[in-house]
Each structure stands twice: as C-alpha cells, then as structure tokens.
Amino acid sequence: MSEDEAAEDGAEEPEPVDLEAIREALEAFEGDVDSLEEDLDAADTEDDLDDVEADLEAFRDDLEEIEIPEPPEPDEDEEDDEEEKITPEEELQDRYDDIESDLSDLESDLEDQRGPYGEDVVGEIDDASGTITSTRWTEEGDDELIDVVDAFLEETNDLLDTSLTIVEDGDDVPAQLEETLGEAATAVEDADLDADDDAETIAAFLEATDDLETGIDESTAWSDLKVREQMRREGFYDVLEHVKDFPPEWHALKVHEKRGNVDMILLALETFDSDFMEEHCLDALERMGPEEAIEPMIQKANRRDTTAMSILGKIGDDDGEVVDTLLDYVDSNPTLQQPAFRALGEVGAEDAVQPIANQLVDEEPDVRSSAARALGLIGDTRAIDPLEDILAEDDEDRVRASAAWALNQIGTEDALEIVAEYGDDRAYLVQAEAEKATLEPAA
C-alpha cells in the first residue's frame, strides 16, 4: 500500500449531518412565521411596525444559518427506478424554501402597511405642479386650472388651518399656480405630519391631491383644441347636455360605454392623443368585450400591447387572425407570454394546445403555471398527459397546483381520476384540487 493510500485510509470521515435536528429547527421556524404574521396583523403604529421589522430581520439572520446538505448521489439501482423519490435532504430544502418565501411575503406586507407619509402628499403636489408648467393651456384651460387649484387650497386651509390663496403675480397663469402649489407643499412640510398621529389628515390630503390631478387632466390644453373640434363634429359630445359645464372627454366616454356605443369608444381611442384617454378607452373595451373591437385590438396586440391581448380574450372570438396574433407571443418573454396564454385560454383556441404545452418545461415557474391554467381554460383532452406529468414531476408546488386546477377544468373522468390521487399531497393547494376532483361529476 502506498503512503498516499494509507493517508487516505487514515483520513477522518466527515461527521454526519443531523437531519432530524434540521427538521426540528425548521418546524420551529414555521411556528415563528405564524407568530410574526400575527404580530404584523396586530401592528397599529409605525413603532409597532419597526418592532416587527426588527423581528423579521433577526428571523432572516437565524434562518440563513441553516444549511441544508446536498442529497447523496443515487446509486445505479435508484437511477434505473422510474419513480423519482424525494430524498430527506430535498424535503428539508422544500420546507426551507417555503419558509423563506413566507418571510419574503411578510417583508412585502410590512412595507405595504407603512405610511402614507407627509412627504407622499408633497410629492403628489409637486407632480401636479409639474404637469401644469409642462403643458400649454388654452384660455379656457387657464380658468379651469385656477378653479381646480383654488378648490385644493380651500381643502388645504381646512386641514392645516392656513390661509393660502392663489398667487397673482404677472399674467402667466401656470407660473402663478406653480408658485401657489409650491407654497402649499411648504405648508405641508412645515406641518410635519406624523404617519400615526395624523393619519386621517394625510389620507384626506391624498384624496385632495387625487382631485387636483383629475381636475388638471380634465382642463383644456392647447393641444386638445383640434381634436375636440373633430370629435364634436363626429357627435362624440352629443351625449352631454351641457358640454361647457363638464370636462367632456372622460365623462362622454363613460356615457358611451353605458349606452353600448362601441363605435364612439373606438373613435376616441383612434383620435385622442392622450395616454389618459387611451387607458380609459381600453378599460371600457375590456369591460364590454365587443366584436367590433377585434381588428383594432389585433393591430395593437401586434405592437406588443398586453391590454389589447386581454381584450381579445374577453371578446372570446377564436377566429384564425386572433389566434395567430396571440400565438406569436407564446414563445416570447414572460411579460408577453402570460397575457397571451390567458387570452388563448379564454377564447378556447384548440390550435394553441401544443404550443402552450411546449411551455410547460420553461425555466420560469410563473410561465409554467400560466401555461397550465391556459390549457385548463381551453379544455382540450390532449393536454391531460402533459398536465399529468407536471403534476407528478414539477419542482414548484404552485405549478403543480395549476396543473391540478387545469385537469379539474378539463373535467373528463380520466382527468379527475388523476387529480383525485393527490389527496394526501405535500401541498395544500394540490390537496384542495384533489378534493374538488372527487366531488366533480365527469364531463
């Protein structure tokens, strides 16, 4: 025997990892997560939230000290075994990942629960002032802006017990209003509003700044004149009894939606060069789902507009051009894939079954989950086998739960039987789908 071989024989074996101790530690962490969630729900003040944040930071530090060992390499017999077995190390890693995910959710919830603050109000005032000074207004618009800002000052004076008025220095109305709103922002800063003690005042201010921004958006800009004249001749404003008494576009759009005047909404979408109006036109079309919108929505979807994709799904027409347009994004980036999946599912596009099923092996869990749900919405039985594979083999429980949901949506006897076998699954969402499968009559 060589010296090297002797040295190897005499080398100390690494100490075995105590998996049971790790399992007990993770159980304790799981209980702590529940306790932290209760503390966050009970937090009423910023000081309470600070305490919870400190506890979350300590919890994360302690969690990161846990080291899950790598699973051992399978022997040849295990490699030949068709049924993949979860090792104790993999089971512990899954539990660790779930705890870390829950912790991240709590940290996000904590940030959402904070505030709002006085500086948020100042930021909204500054944004409104910037809109006024960066826009060219008509004479009518100047008068409307003065009324809007004057109403905001009245609310500010009531909330802070001040006596602010519109600055009347020179003839440049936007410059006057910029200075006026600057004084209002300074008054809010000087008030030093506390997120806890002055929560009602801050909330009232944010409501007032919303009204301020809406009033500015509805005031008449110089660029509106030609467009408004065109729309007036097309009869867009005929639904308003007193055009001059209302900021007309948005109000008219809501009336047209209520009356089902799709042609007028499409005309507004095509004519107004305004992000604000485009957003509200698209929102109206998404709620209505009219067939008349198919062609313009195809055009927008071809320009990577995800809202247009959603509208095509709501319309529910599976004609060839709609499906072909949406299929272009099935193998794209996740931002475009997921609305395309959803729309193809809603229209029941059978031609999309195989292209979407191909995405069930995508590296992104969100893509796999969205693909599974789209297949469920389509309801084609060809998707049963690939969904069964995902339910059995995917590493992410939420993806597996989506596959189980999809099989329940397909609803054939075979699909329901597959899901029903997972009644004792490790994931609660999968268990819930299995329970539904036992109650659903087969299609």
Q: What is the pLDDT of residues 134-181, one digit of tens each?
A: 998 888 889 999 999 999 999 999 999 999 999 988 889 999 999 999
Same structural domain for residues 230 and 254?
Answer: yes
Domain boundary among 262, 288, 314: 288
- In the predicted structure, residue 80 carries a pLDDT above the cut 60: no
Q: Using one digit for the tens of pLDDT, what is the confidence trace for 319-375? A: 788 999 999 999 888 899 999 999 999 999 999 999 999 999 999 999 999 999 999
Please report the pLDDT score of residue 195 as a whole number.
85
Does any domain span residue 418?
A: no
Q: Considering only 180-189, 223-232, 393-402, 426-435, which range has the smallest mean pLDDT?
A: 223-232
The overall average pLDDT reported for the chain is 87
Q: What is the mean pLDDT of residues 189-195?
A: 91
pTM score, two decimals?
0.47
Same structural domain for residues 31 and 127?
Answer: no
- In the predicted structure, residue 77 carries a pLDDT above the cut 60: no
Does any domain span residue 333?
A: no
Does any domain span residue 383?
A: no
Same structural domain for residues 100 and 163?
Answer: no
- Residues 178 and 183: their CA atoms lie apart, in Å, by 9
Q: Considering only 41-50, 72-81, 173-182, 222-231, which range has the smallest mean pLDDT?
A: 72-81
Q: What is the mean pLDDT of residues 250-271?
A: 91
Same structural domain for residues 164 and 200?
Answer: yes
- In the predicted structure, residue 297 carries a pLDDT above the cut 90: yes
- CB atoms near residue 365 (< 10 Å): 15
- pLDDT tier at 244, thresholds 50, 70, 90: very low
> What residue type is assigned to position 372 of the chain?
A
Does any domain span residue 177?
A: yes
Q: Considering only 106-115, 338-347, 424-433, which range has the smallest mean pLDDT?
A: 106-115
Q: Using one digit for the tens of pLDDT, what is the confidence trace for 17-29? A: 788 888 888 888 8
Same structural domain for residues 122 and 217?
Answer: yes
- Residues 43 and 32: their CA atoms lie apart, in Å, by 16
Q: Which residue segment(s) compose the domain that 203 sits in?
A: 118-222
Domain boundary among 288, 314, 339: 288
Nearest of 308, 299, 387, 291 to residue 342 by alpha carbon: 308
Please report the pLDDT score of residue 6 as a whole number.
47
Please report the pLDDT score of residue 307 as a whole number.
92
- pLDDT tier at 443, thresholds 50, 70, 90: low
Same structural domain for residues 23 and 105?
Answer: yes
Does any domain span residue 299?
A: no
Contact in structure between 225 and 249 (CB atoms under 8 Å): no
Domain boundary among 113, 132, 162: 113
Q: Using one digit for the tens of pLDDT, what is the confidence trace for 387-423? A: 999 999 999 999 999 999 999 999 999 999 999 999 9
Please report the pLDDT score of residue 256 as a whole number.
93
Same structural domain for residues 59 and 137?
Answer: no
Q: What is the mean pLDDT of residues 117-138?
A: 92
Contact in structure between 412 and 443 (CB atoms under 8 Å): yes
Token reading at 200: 């009602």
Same structural domain for residues 181 and 206?
Answer: yes
- pLDDT tier at 33, thresholds 50, 70, 90: confident
Contacts of 371 (CB under 8 A, 6+ apart): 337, 341, 356, 357, 359, 360, 362
Does any domain span residue 186?
A: yes
Does any domain span residue 63?
A: yes
Please report the pLDDT score of residue 98 as a whole number.
92
Q: How many domains does the chain have?
A: 3
- Residues 333 and 326: their CA atoms lie apart, in Å, by 13
Nearest of 200, 48, 189, 209 to residue 116 by alpha carbon: 200
Same structural domain for residues 152 and 194?
Answer: yes
Same structural domain for residues 215 and 235?
Answer: no
Place of tokens 């944040």: 53
Same structural domain for residues 201 and 127?
Answer: yes
Nearest of 140, 160, 348, 322 to residue 244 by alpha carbon: 140
Please report the pLDDT score of residue 4 as a whole number.
53
- In the predicted structure, residue 245 carries a pLDDT above the cut 50: no
Same structural domain for residues 229 and 249?
Answer: yes
Please report the pLDDT score of residue 79 as a whole number.
53
Please report the pLDDT score of residue 113 as a whole number.
79
Contacts of 33 (CB under 8 A, 6+ apart): 59, 99, 102, 103, 106
Does any domain span residue 151?
A: yes
